[in-house]
Structure 1
Amino acid sequence: MSAPRVSAKRLAEALGQLPPTAEQAAVIEAPPGPMLVVAGAGAGKTETMAARVVWLVANGLVEPEQVLGLTFTRKAAQQLTARIRARLAKLAGSALLRDLDPSGGLRARILGSEPEVSTYHAYAGRLLTEHGLLLPIEPSATLLSETELWQVAHRVVSSWDGELDTDRNPTSVTEAVLALSGQLAEHLVEPDLLRDAHLELEQLVHTLPPGPGQRGAPSKTLLGYLETQHARLQLLPLVERLSETLRREGALDFGSQMSLAARVARDHREVGAGERERFRAVLLDEYQDTGHAQRVLLAALFGGGADPGLAVTAVGDPMQSIYGW
């Protein structure tokens, strides 16, 4: 990488921004490559991410349209987009840019393009629209809201004519089916794998000798684990019926959308190659709350050392984890 032409401090002064702290400047000026930023609440993470984008663009390391920003909520995506746009607009009209780029070519590119900033789920949806036929998934599949998904699942449960050893009512069973379906999707586990997953544990529970101070029979806790697994097995046919119904009706839920996007990225390397060619700087906001399927997706697209020149910045704080994956 050639030496940067402008520092984060000089860029902030030119744009009328407060100068970055030493820690913020280190993040903003980091060379391309993978970087994890751990910062707590109020540390200025969004401002620093926006400043990094502008610094990369000002120094000619990336073009504006080569920047991808991902976060969890539409509100956060809108806030990050607004800050990046505002800073790039200031850069385009600054005397600093005229000094850096007398020809005006960079100014024209800044004004004529902009980064892609969206939620993780919206990005997964875009990947499925473009590459879903590789699975195959129809690009026109409808994304269901939580209420719509619950209605489909309740219809599946209410019309079930197979065996089901439970005394729970349809509403309770529906909630359990949706929970199990979501867990399978999140961890990229096919239902067939779950059918045999408990066999080794069950054998160990009933055959291993008791530990110190333990009576001969397996503990209530261990038997509870097996009972939970058996209850899941009871629900598997309903989970599969739900999946078949959604596929037949051309619908997806949020969990399936993310897991399918992860599968298409993991199993088709050309998808990642295309995304890395398209984006040269990737910002991953609130990374502490990404789940297994999201991490598989992001690693397949932008990780694994496939492209050392790719500027990937993951920002988060374990102490602010909402979901606790």
Structure 2
Amino acid sequence: MTPSSTPPPAGPRISAAEIAAALRLPVPTEQQQAIIEHPPAPMLVVAGAGSGKTETMAARVVWLVANGYAEPEQVLGLTFTRKAAAELAGRVGTRLRALTAAGVIDGAAGARPEETDGVVAAPPTISTYHAYAGRLVREHALRLGREPDARLLSEAAAWQYAHAVVSNDEGPLEEIGKAESTITNAVIDLAGEMAEHLVTPDQLDAWLAGFDERLEVIEGAGRALLAESKAMRKALRAKRSLVPVLQRYAALKRDHGAMDFADQMAVAAELAMRFPEVGRIERERFSSVLLDEFQDTSHAQLHLLAALFAPAGADGPGHCVTAVGDPHQSIYAWRGASAATLAQFPAVFGAASVSVLPLSVTWRNDRAILDAANTVAEPLRAGAVVPVEPLSAAPAAGDGRIEVARLETVDAEAALVADWIAQRRAEGAQSAAVLCRKRSQFPAGGGA
């Protein structure tokens, strides 16, 4: 059954609280209920650390299915790691099976509970962003004249391909480095950044040439360049010297029917942007889409998802896309991701309007810890690309305690932390975490 053939229900017949009661789960908070029961239209959820994001996403899927807005197999959930995907899939599958067995909802594809024996035959598709892109490439690569079964290169294999090109290159690459390994790493890094930003070697060469020409015009007019500008021009000229190497690297991968993860995402984005049919197929396949860790999506991923699931018309409700993210937890800037994608969501996926809802009640910490965290994070909230509410404590949270110490050496600090953890364990604490300011402190922290 496709979304286009499924008549929309007149309205929800079962609430998030009733579903939680049937599953013997805690009653959702007001924030969670607003998110779970949001109509099937685009929605951005700004979720703070420890705010029950996975729990709320799972409940959102279950509510959509229970109220007839989607069949289980019409739900797509995307996240970054296999572990996160497995956790979300496990929660959703367990709850749908429990509701089916209890007779609260029918089994998959309309079957009666007694026919499915409590088993949802066609579960939602919960995947990583890269695995989903890989599936699109396998199904549609021929539209671009690419092999659908291209070999996916590991990091080591990609490095070997790049090194083979570098070792056979006779161009002037001294500005990059003298060692072939240094140049190879530069090729790998720049190729990945270009793929994540959907930039071709020719486009990079044209932009760098134009920028260099503008600097020459400034100098030609008798205006001296600042030292920083001269250093920047030198660095950009070095990058431009890599363009022929990048072209040969891309050609080598293509000749061998291979691509790396960044290539795979770029090809998937190109397919979605150039062939509207691909988006139509995906929208018919998935009526409801959940996008986890949206603050870490790259430029290529944003364009891929927009081309697939953006609304067809400005006056319509838009496709049911729920994006969840927190600008304070963006960790993939090194590969082109930006928390600014959160700010772009309403414009990219919105129709008449897009709801931006908070999820800020955190279940991990006591009040004193949250007060300190909110104080430290205040400058981040002030400059956030989307509204971010301060974290608030759960009703059952304790007062908490913060202890501060200033030690003369790293070893003394590690010993104090070790003693502190030992005391807490003796008092019955079940877990602890040690955060280090820099990697060189890991050995001391590990000893603790």
- Say if 1:66 and 1:106 are closer, same or farther in 2 by CA, change over 3 A: farther
For residues 55-99 of structure 1, what are the alpha-carbon distances to aligned partners after superposition, in whole Å with 9 as ceiling and x for unaligned? 01110110000000000001111111101111111111114337x
Cα separation, 2, equivalents of 1:163 and 1:320: 41
Name the counterpart of 2:278: 271
Work out whether 1:168 is the aligned partner of 2:175: no
Higher normalized contact order (CA 8 Å, seq sep 6+, divided by chain length): 1
Task: Name the SS for the 1:70 alignment partner.
Answer: strand
Work out whether 1:32 is the aligned partner of 2:34: no
Task: Name the SS for the 2:164 alignment partner.
Answer: helix
CA positional deviation for 1:189: 1.0
Work out whether 1:190 is the aligned partner of 2:200: yes
* TM-score (norm: length of structure 2): 0.67
Cα separation, 2, equivalents of 1:287 and 1:164: 38
Work out whether 1:323 is the aligned partner of 2:341: no
Higher deviation after alignment, 18-27 or 150-159: 150-159
Task: Name the SS for the 1:283 alignment partner.
Answer: strand
Q: Which among 303, 316, 321 is matched to residue 312 of structure 1?
A: 321
- Say if 1:234 and 1:50 are closer, same or farther in 2 by CA, change over 3 A: same
Task: Assess if the C-alpha contact under 8 Å between 1:54 and 1:87 holds in 2.
Answer: yes
Cα separation, 2, equivalents of 1:90 and 1:304: 33
Name the counterpart of 2:86: 78
Name the counterpart of 1:117: 126
Work out whether 1:147 is the aligned partner of 2:160: no
Cα separation, 1, equivalents of 2:209 and 2:64: 53
Name the counterpart of 1:212: none
Task: Name the SS for the 1:38 alignment partner.
Answer: strand
Amino acid of the residue matched to residue 250 of structure 2? Answer: S
CA positional deviation for 1:154: 1.1
CA positional deviation for 1:160: 2.0
Task: Name the SS for the 1:68 alignment partner.
Answer: strand
- Say if 1:260 and 1:103 are closer, same or farther in 2 by CA, change over 3 A: closer
How many pairs are equivalent?
318
RMSD: 2.2
Question: 5+ unaligned residues in a row in structure 1: which ranges?
Answer: 210-214
Task: Assess if the C-alpha contact under 8 Å between 2:310 and 2:319 holds in 1.
Answer: no
- Say if 1:48 and 1:70 are closer, same or farther in 2 by CA, change over 3 A: same
Amino acid of the residue matched to residue 305 of structure 2? Answer: L
Amino acid of the residue matched to residue 148 of structure 1? Answer: A
CA positional deviation for 1:200: 3.6
Question: 5+ unaligned residues in a row in structure 2: which ranges?
Answer: 1-7, 338-448
Structure with greater helix share of residues: 1
For residues 254-310 of structure 1, what are the alpha-carbon distances to aligned partners after superposition, in whole Å with 9 as ceiling and x for unaligned? 110000100000000000000000000100000000000000000000014457352
Task: Name the SS for the 1:11 alignment partner.
Answer: helix
Task: Assess if the C-alpha contact under 8 Å between 1:15 and 1:94 holds in 2.
Answer: no
Cα separation, 2, equivalents of 1:119 and 1:181: 22
Matches within 5 A, 1:36-75: 36-75=44-83
Name the counterpart of 2:373: none
CA positional deviation for 1:216: 4.1
Task: Assess if the C-alpha contact under 8 Å between 1:285 and 1:315 holds in 2.
Answer: yes
Percent identity, aligned pairs only, is: 50
Q: Which has the larger radius of gyration?
A: 2
Task: Assess if the C-alpha contact under 8 Å between 1:165 and 1:234 holds in 2.
Answer: no
